[in-house]
Amino acid sequence: MWDLLIINPMINALLLFYSVLGNQFILAIIALTILIRIIVFPLSLKQQRSMVMMQALQGSKEWQAIQKKYKNDREKLAQEQMRMYNEFGVSPLGGCLPTLIQFPVLIGLYQSIVRVLAGSPLQLVDLASRVYLPSLSALVPLNDRFLWLDLGRPDPFYIIPVLVVFTTWAQQKLLTAPSADAQSASMNQSMQIMMPLMLGFFALQYSSALAIYFVMSNVVGVAQYFIINRWFRHRWEKDSHTNRKSSRKPRLAKGKTESKTEETRQEKKQVEKTQP
């Protein structure tokens, strides 16, 4: 199932892009990176919306007031925070999904690159069984050279791994939602350090083609951030206030109804007292 849904489609996408982009494997990787980013764009949109709504929430006076009021009562503070999350329409975990989805994509891409850059007769036979079109099979073996890089091996000069670390850190910095909770803030800060170092380690150990995917994915992610921020941020900030007002209406209406019911009961009692 893994091969059918992940590996084989990626292999054929790489070969297809390779065939239409002048037999340049580096261009095929860049094209596949952009395609993957387009596919997960709705998740990126949701992640960034969650971050903007969280910023609006934590910048509100009520949020700051409950932080002060319940600073010594963590259970009550957590309850009040969840109430405000619901009022603003914010999920505390809304920004995690795109990050989690990256891991199966990375594993699948690495395995696809290894299989496409087949280096032995056995690997060539395995690759042929995975290709959908005979015309794509004719492309093998692929041109795996780009500048000083052998795309099937790690960068010998460590330039690409350094770019991986820097671009991953930049993207993490932009896309990490602020947190008023000290524990969450500490966890976010740790992730901003650990994620770039982890991907940098992968870039040192595995093919430079995978490292180039990391760099391109991060660059496209940063570009998406600024584009989304420009076109959607103002609308989301308005939505945060609208959602909160609408979430309060039922409570107000209920309060008024209860008050009116109580008034009616009092009037009935007065009438009963005055009757002989």
Residue of 260 and 23 predicted with greater confidence: 23
Q: Which long-range contacts (CB under 8 A, 24 or more apart) does 20-26 make?
A: 23/139, 23/142, 23/143, 24/143, 24/146, 25/116, 25/117, 25/142, 25/143, 25/144, 25/146, 25/151, 25/209, 26/146, 26/151, 26/209, 26/212
User: Which residues make Cβ contacts (< 8 Å) with residue 134, sequence separation at least 6?
Assistant: none
pLDDT above 70 covers a percentage of the chain that reads: 74
User: Which residues make Cβ contacts (< 8 Å) with residue 240, sequence separation at least 6?
Assistant: 52, 53, 56, 57, 88, 89, 90
Residue 61: pLDDT over 50: yes
Q: What is the mean pLDDT of the chain?
A: 77
User: Which residues make Cβ contacts (< 8 Å) with residue 125, sequence separation at least 6?
Assistant: none
Residue of 27 and 243 predicted with greater confidence: 27
CA angle 20, 21, 23 (to 5 degrees): 95
Lookup result for tokens 């596919």: 39
The pTM (predicted TM-score) of the whole model is: 0.70
Lowest mean pLDDT among 4-8, 34-38, 120-124, 209-213: 120-124
Report how far apart, in Å, the C-alpha atoms of 223 and of each of 26, 160, 192, 246, 256 are.
Answer: 20, 19, 19, 33, 49
pLDDT bracket for residue 271 (50, 70, 90): very low
Rg (Cα) of the chain, in Å, rounded? 27
Q: Which of 23-32, 51-60, 99-108 has the highest mean pLDDT?
A: 23-32
Residue 53: its pLDDT value, please? 74
Helices vs. strands in the chain: H and E counts, helices first: 12, 2
Q: For the CA atoms of 23, 25, 28, 29, what is the dihedral angle to 10 degrees?
A: 180
The DSSP element (H or E) to which 149 belongs, if any, is: strand 149-150
Give 109-142 as a 3 state SS string.
HHHHHHHHCCCCHHHHHHHHHHCCCHHHHCCCCC
Are residues 178 and 55 in contact, defined by beta-carbon separation less than 8 angstroms? yes
Residue 266: pLDDT over 70: no
Residue 267: pLDDT over 60: no
Convert the pLDDT of each residue in 169-193 to its tens digit: 988 888 776 665 566 667 667 777 8
Residue of 38 and 91 predicted with greater confidence: 38
Q: Which of 7-21, 81-95, 166-180 has the highest mean pLDDT?
A: 7-21
Residue 256: its pLDDT value, please? 47
The structure tokens listed for 255 are 């309060």
Section 140-157 average pLDDT: 84
The structure tokens listed for 10 are 């990626």
Convert the pLDDT of each residue in 91-117 to its tens digit: 666 555 566 666 787 788 888 888 887
Q: How far apart are CA 188 and CA 244, in angstroms?
A: 26
| Spans of all domains in the chain | 2-274
Lowest mean pLDDT among 29-33, 43-47, 107-111, 128-132: 43-47
Residue 235: pLDDT over 80: no
Q: How far apart are CA 152 and CA 29, in angstroms?
A: 12
Residue 166: its pLDDT value, please? 94
Tell me the β-bridge partners of 149.
Answer: 146
Residue 86: its pLDDT value, please? 76
Residue of 210 and 268 predicted with greater confidence: 210
Residue 257: pLDDT over 50: no
Lookup result for tokens 């570009």: 223
